[in-house]
Chains A and B, each alone.
Chain A
Amino acid sequence: MNHMLEMKSITKTFPGVKALDKVNLQITEGEIHAIVGENGAGKSTLMKVLSGVYPHNSYDGEIIFRGKECKFSHIHESEQEGIAIIHQELALVPLLSIGENIFLGNERGKYLNINWEETYAKADEYLKLVGLQESSKILIKDIGIGKQQLVEIAKALTKNVKLLILDEPTASLNERDSKNLLDLLLDFKKKGLTSIIISHKLNEIEYVADTVTVIRDGKTITTLKKEDGFDESSIIKAMVGRDLSNRFPSRKSNIGETIFEVKNWKAYHPLYSERLICNDINFTVNRGEVVGISGLMGAGRTELAMSIFGHSYGKNISGQCYINGKEVNLSSPKVAIDNKLSYVTEDRKGNGLVLTNSIKKNITLTKLSRISNNLKIDDDLEVELAKKYITEMNTKCSSEEQIVENLSGGNQQKVLLGKSLFAEPDILFLDEPTRGIDVGAKYEIYTLINQMVDKGKAVIMISSELPELLGMCDRIYVMNEGQIVGELSKEEATQEKIMSLIIQSSKETN
């Protein structure tokens, strides 16, 4: 058979670890090829080898692209051959316009005289290709992350791309934007574009992929083809090497009295002070209960949680919070923490962890008073407690002194969770607690959540993945456009009901 791309026996070693061990990858022209594997399995390393981020000679093996052996020593060289890679972290300049971004490094016109008319006209054409109805003169910072993703693809298209690589393209998109993006890929496939997609979302892979290559521990495990049939469970089995028949650990609900209640909660946007972000929100949480908050991106879920957690988001906040029936004024994150609240951010690198510090220092940061006496830090106690939380979270690391930056996503998430538990909270807001981590680590996080509620804590879980909410929660609130538009018990809740609540409420307001 004729392959567009063949990577043969790729081996890449870093000091102490073999990241890739004789990996083989074959891409057929015109297909969508998914690469899956747990975090740290070597997917991104493989793509970096392919695109020349790791230059030729730094790895062993052969890359044959369109019948020619390639020895890329820089990312520009792979781009010239028509290989474009879109990374998980988007590489767009927020304060430049869409058009300027699309042609960044590839400007229209002359070196010392940019042709702006051509730039914007061409950019508009490409935006149409990716189905984006925006003017290319709008600044990147003013469009949502879903649209930014499309701009990245438009940018790749301008470079005459033959093989498009997308690394976790839907990790931060809601269901609707994700579907748009995937449909776009299918559309491009019809036009003959080949793409590689790296994703943790198996339902999406089932939806778009023609072929799936599973990588585990730096080795190719298997390649599954659509015509031979594959589904989520067969992929999971290959990924983790074991059957995860139950993706959510079981738990016997033991729900106690109400521990936390929010009444008439209102918050306005920090910059546009007339925009209502949280509109008259009421909800309750009981001890031993996992309460979900569902909604599309931009529904105001994160904003709600952060405005409650020490007014750390929004302006002109009003409403009441009750803990165990007593009204509290959570005026700053410190007061919130002292009242045994905790917020685990959705953005672990941006808002959660001090990446350049050790695991130990990150874990103890939320409550330094636990390890200090008259402001003097007790080093021994700190190490001891940090170790305890590392073990409890089952974090894989060389020691408590390891720098957080060097951990995998799943382990970083565990440190983040350990950090918030260190403050000994009773009420936990978990905002997208499993974003961008692999199936195995997800299972461990779910188990930890179950352990928390077993101890009588209350968990409020915000998630964009509906199956996760349905699998974990005792009760689900549905949010849309800053309002709570419905409440469903575990028994009532289905994906269809949640989506229809959202769609109905959108219709009513329009």
Chain B
Amino acid sequence: MTNSNQKKIIKALKNNTMLIALVAVVLLFELLIRGADRGSMLAPANISNLINQNAYVVILAVGMLLCIITGGNIDLSVGSTVCLVGAVAGTLIVTLEMNIYLSIIICLLLGILLGAWQGYWIAYVRIPAFIVTLSGMLLFRGIANIILDGLTISPFPKEYLRIFTSYLPNTTTQSSKLIFTLIIASILLAIYIFFNLRGYFTKLKKGYEHSSKLATISKLVAISLVVLIFASALGEHKGLPVVLIWLTVIIFVYNYFTSKTVPGRQLYAMGGNEKAAILSGIDTNKLLFGAYTNMGFLSAIAALVCVARFNSATPSAGNMYELDAIGSCFIGGASAYGGTGTVSGAIIGAILMGVLNNGMSILGIDANWQKAVKGLVLLAAVVFDVMSKKRAANKN
């Protein structure tokens, strides 16, 4: 193998360290779980479980990422927002028996409003985000508990639950489920491969910098394999979880937003150097306001997903969710000073946290130990990131 090829492979590995760490952790758990004879982490039922358990983390992590990119700002109030929106959803849907879709719209608007409230103080009055959202954390949970009067609202109507917790297709025949998930996966893959190849060939044609043919093909093959394996696992269980569709849409939209749009680009520029961004004609107040308003919106979606999953709105809902979201972003390589971080990174971070939770639960590890391990993993991930960046900087 030539030297330059070796360098390319090392670079590719370096760019994907967190992904590799995730695979390693999954394999480790698989070994431990099988060794302890407690089934398998990758069993169809458990994969389905993992998705349902962690949907909210992924949604919140995506929103948190935008806040972090603006300059290392975090939002401590998301857990309380989830609780408050959940409480309102419970009141509207269960207590008042309002139309479900109207209720959902009201809940989403409420999330936007809560986000905008915080965004206003952070962006236009320039109160530090930490303080504003700490206030929001107390304020929103307080109001939520006033609404709930300390009680739990349940159960939610089937019609509502179906929107977030059901599986597609709606049949009982196992073979049609498998075929359905595989077809959906194949369609998505075909679209993905098409756009990737098109991008590759235009780059080739115009002579732009591009990855090698081998790297492009092996990447596509690896992704196809993983997606098909997961699709067949889901098909063998109950089918395609509806929440996965929502997640896919959110991930796609925000990945596109951060990497391909003007406001996305401006967000990174602002986090990298706000003064330079202002002098480049960028309205950074608007961006900051937008990031927090959007966080409120995504928190509301997470709230709707959560009440459906637990089939109840409880006063303690959303407790510590903000820390899961923040942790996911930092594990996924976002900088605590802003300006860097990707949606895919945040999602890998969220999945890693989810896998740790799930794996340790299957192994029967005590909940307190689970917390301790997660804390150490968060620190280790960031330390690793900082060290590797330092090493790279020293080489220059």
Contact A345 B279, beta carbon cutoff 8 Å: yes
Contact A356 B265 (CB under 8 A): no
Cα A310 to Cα B202 in complex, Å, equals 39
Smallest Cβ-Cβ distance to A401: which chain B residue: B209
A155 close to chain B: CB less than 8 A: no
Partner of A336, one of B202, B281, B340, B395: B281
Q: Report whether B265 and A343 are in contact in the complex, using a CB–CB cutoff of 8 Å.
A: no
A287 → chain B closest CB, angstroms: 23
Q: Hey, what's the 0/1 contact readout for B254-270 against A, CB within 8 Å counting as 1?
A: 00000011110110110
Interface centre among A338, A345, A379, A419 (most CB of B within 10 A): A379
Q: Which of B260, B263, B275, B280 has the most CB of A within 10 A?
A: B280
| Shortest Cβ distance from A348 into B: residue | B276
**With a CB–CB cut-off of 8 A, which chain B residues contact A366?**
280-281
**Complex Cα spacing A419 to B281, Å:** 12
Instruction: Establish whether residues B278 and A356, one from each chain, have CB atoms under 8 Å apart when the complex forms.
Output: no
> Complex: how many Å from CA A129 to CA B395?
41
Residue A272 CB within 8 A of the other chain: no
The answer to whether B273 and A354 have CB atoms under 8 Å apart is yes
Instruction: Report the minimum CB–CB distance from A391 to chain B (whole Å).
Output: 14
Inter-subunit contact A354/B272 (CB<8 Å): yes
Asked whether any CB of chain B lies closer than 8 Å to the CB of A351, the reply is yes
Question: Is the beta-carbon distance between B265 and A351 smaller than 8 angstroms?
Answer: no
Q: A356 contacts which chain B residues (CB < 8 A)?
A: 272, 339-340
Smallest CB–CB gap between B279 and chain A, Å? 6
Please state if A357 and B261 are interface contacts (CB–CB under 8 Å): no
- A406 touches which of B273, B276, B396 (Cβ 8 Å): B396
Is B261 touching A377 in the complex (CB atoms < 8 A)? yes
A333 touches B339 (CB 8 A): no
Q: Do A351 and B261 touch (CB < 8 A)? A: no
Q: Residues of B contacting A372 with CB < 8 Å? A: 261-262
Q: A356-B339, A377-B262 are in contact. Are A333 and B209 (CB under 8 A)?
A: no
CB within 8 Å for A376 and B261 given contacts A356-B340, A365-B280: yes
Given that A15-B395, A377-B260, A399-B209 are known contacts, is A368 also in contact with B279, CB under 8 Å in the complex?
Answer: no
Task: Assess whether B339 is in contact with A365, with CB atoms less than 8 Å apart.
Answer: no
Task: Report the bound CA distance from A401 to B203 in whole Å.
Answer: 14
Instruction: Write the B190-204 contact mask toward A (1 if CB under 8 angstroms, else 0).
Output: 000000000000100
Q: B275–A351 contact, CB under 8 A?
A: yes
Partner of A361, one of B206, B265, B281, B282: B265
Q: Which of B238-291 contact A (CB under 8 A)?
A: 260-263, 265-266, 268-269, 272-273, 275-283
Whether the Cβ atoms of A368 and B277 lie closer than 8 Å is no
**Residue B369, interface by CB 8 Å:** no
Q: Is the CB of A312 within 8 A of B278?
A: yes
Q: How far is the CB of B273 from chain A (nearest CB, A)?
A: 4
Cα A375 to Cα B268 in complex, Å, equals 15
A240 touches B (CB below 8 Å): no
0 or 1 for each of B88-129: is its CB under 8 Å from A? (1 = yes): 000000000000000000000000000000000000000000
Q: How far is the CB of B26 from chain A (nearest CB, A)?
A: 31
| Shortest CB distance A307–B (Å) | 13
A354-B273, A357-B268 are known contacts. Are A332 and B262 too (CB-CB below 8 A)? no
The yes or no answer to A111 lying at the interface (CB within 8 A) is no
- CB-CB under 8 A from A380, the residues of chain B are 202, 206, 208
Provide the main secondary structure of the chain B interface: helix
Q: How far is the CA of A127 from the CA of B340 in the complex (A)?
A: 43
Contact code string B209-238 (vs A, CB < 8 Å = 1, else 0): 100000000000000000000000000000
Which residues from B are CB-within-8-Å of A352?
A: 276, 279
CB distance from A299 to the nearest CB of B (A): 21
Interface size class of A (residues with CB under 8 A): 35 or more
> In whole angstroms, how far apart are the Cα atoms of A161 and B110 in the complex?
65
A365 touches B208 (CB 8 A): no
* Cβ–Cβ contact A310 & B276, under 8 A: no
Q: How far is the CA of A190 from the CA of B396 in the complex (A)?
A: 40
Interface string of B331-350 (1 = CB under 8 A from A): 00000000110000000000
CB of B275 within 8 A of CB of A365, answer: no
* Cβ–Cβ < 8 Å partners of A14 in chain B: 395-396
Q: Which of A367-386 contact B (CB under 8 A)?
A: 367-369, 372, 375-377, 379-380, 383-384
List, in ascending order, chain B residues with CB within 8 A of A368's CB.
262, 265-266
Known contacts A14-B396, A365-B265; is A353 also within 8 Å of B273 by CB? yes
| CB-based nearest A residue for B259 | A377
| Interface residue? A337 (CB, 8 A) | yes
- Chain A residues with CB under 8 A of B395: 14-15
B211 CB to closest chain A CB, in angstroms?
Answer: 12
Given contact pairs A332-B283, A372-B262, A377-B260, A350 touches B275 in the complex (Cβ within 8 A):
yes
Interface residues in A104-156 (C-beta closer than 8 Å to B): none
Contacts A15-B395, A353-B273 hold; do A333 and B262 have CB atoms under 8 A apart? no
Give the CA-CA distance A367 to B261 in the complex, in Å: 13
Other-chain contact of B279, A351, A355, A367, A376 (Cβ < 8 Å): A351
Cα A7 to Cα B343 with chains together (Å): 51
Q: A400-433 vs B: 1/0 string, CB under 8 Å?
A: 0100001000000000000100010000000000
Interface centre among A309, A336, A366, A369 (most CB of B within 10 A): A366
Q: Are A334 and B281 in contact (CB under 8 A)?
A: yes
Q: In the bound complex, how far is the Cα of B281 from the Cα of A423, in angstroms?
A: 10
B20 → A minimal CB distance (Å): 23
Given pairs A350-B273, A361-B265, A376-B262, 6 additional interface contacts (CB within 8 A): A15-B395, A352-B279, A354-B268, A369-B262, A399-B209, A401-B209
- B interface list, Cβ under 8 A from A: 202, 206, 208-209, 260-263, 265-266, 268-269, 272-273, 275-283, 339-340, 395-396
Give me 15 A-to-B residue pairs in the complex whose CB atoms sit less than 8 angstroms apart, sorted by A's number.
Answer: A14-B395, A15-B395, A333-B279, A334-B281, A336-B281, A337-B281, A352-B279, A353-B273, A354-B268, A365-B265, A365-B282, A376-B262, A377-B261, A406-B396, A423-B281
Residues in A lying within 8 Å of B, measured CB to CB: 14-15, 309-310, 312, 332-334, 336-338, 343, 345, 350-357, 361, 365-369, 372, 375-377, 379-380, 383-384, 399, 401, 406, 419, 423
